[in-house]
A and B are shown apart, each in its own frame.
Chain A
Amino acid sequence: MGLIESGKSPKSLTALLNISRKYSLWVYQWGLACCAIEMGAAFASPRFDVMRLGVIPFPASPRQADLVVISGTVTDKMAPAIRRLYEQMPDPKYVISMGSCANCGGPYWDSYSVTKGVDQIIPVDVYVPGCPPRPEALLEGIVLLQERIRTEDPAARWRGEPIHVT
């Protein structure tokens, strides 16, 4: 790993690693509202079968996850827990924000208790629009994320500044 962190990994090795990472995404499910039903359909039903994309929705804890799907309404009370969840995940880590609520507050944009987008708390890689998005939309978001992983420079990802809780 020293090679990768220092950015001295050969390009062919980087590409191989990226393809490997792309097809072994352990995804943690963070279902907060009705979007979780669609996420459950995408992740747990044979009709959509997310595992054919190389996404494994069975990590026992955030510490084993590469990806977390924030699906549903993020409230101000839930926000610290999401922050802690993100910090518990090992680098490199990815976030998909699923649905209007997690993207920007959605129909609760004027609420006194809803966070106006999960990207105010943690960095988001892919936004999946919809209220709620269909399972296909989430699968497309995962494919987009996989494309991003395939073409990214792991060194940049692993060198990322640590995030401090304020």
Chain B
Amino acid sequence: MSPDTETPEAEAEAEAAETPTDAAREAVRDRFGAELGDAVVDSHITVGHTLWVRVTAEAWRTAGQVARDHLGCRWFDFLSAIDWLPSPYGRYEDDGLSPPKDIDATIVTGVAGGETRFQVFARVVNVVDQTDIIIKADVPDDSLAVASWMPLYDGADWHERETWEMFGIGFEGHPGLRHIYLPGDFEGNPLRKDFPLIARMVKPWPGIIDVEPMPADDEPADEPAADDATATGGGEAP
């Protein structure tokens, strides 16, 4: 999934030489990189599917500008964020009553790499050429804010408000960061991995408690069930 994280250009070109190539997306990536220069940190191409480009947080708005003005990506698809922190509560499905003991807090990021806990990412599309690009950027852990894309795409308004309320990531220059889906007095950022689901702490997930057999399992289990009763629990029965 991440063969080109070490040496992006060389690895990507070597891969492109031997595997099905995606000349269109490589051209987009090269034009994008030529405009942005050092601001491009990493990139990844899923052949025939997606182009990911990771830029620095400082160049977040510039990257959007370049995509809009130089790549013709006039259509803003979406903007959101990722919290790469493993959940400190573990998977509730593993054990309904208590969190798992050992939780590996190592952050593992996805395609095009990453160094911080939060990443913002957005997809913009050139509807004429049918090309698209997903731009992502590490959000600095100390400020937890990037520049708003509102001056570039009006459509980013609600997406940034949602990202702000769900992840607590600020967008500098956004005219009105306020709650959009949650009540105005809501506290916390629900899509952060360390946001506790109080209901699950009070009551375990029912799926782990209700261990009734499926109806189809009942009939075949009849004869072995008699054996089980004598073998395990029914020591005194016979």
Contacts and interface: CB of A to CB of B under 8 A. Distances in A.
Interface of A: 76-77, 109-113, 116
A112 B205 contact: no
Contacts of A113: 181-182, 186, 190
Interface of B: 181-183, 186, 188, 190, 195, 197, 199-200, 203, 205
Contact of B182 (A76, A109, A116): A76
B183 A112 contact: no
23 contacts: A76-B182, A76-B183, A76-B186, A77-B181, A77-B182, A77-B183, A109-B199, A109-B203, A110-B197, A110-B199, A110-B200, A110-B205, A111-B197, A111-B199, A112-B188, A112-B190, A112-B195, A112-B197, A113-B181, A113-B182, A113-B186, A113-B190, A116-B199
Contacts of A112: 188, 190, 195, 197
Q: Would you list the 3 A-B pairs with minimal beta carbon distance, nearest first?
A: A110-B199, A112-B190, A110-B200
A113 B199 CA distance: 11
A110 B188 CA distance: 16
A113 B180 CA distance: 12
A110 B200 CA distance: 6
Nearest to B205: A110
A7 B90 CA distance: 60
Contacts of A116: 199
B88 to A, nearest CB: 16
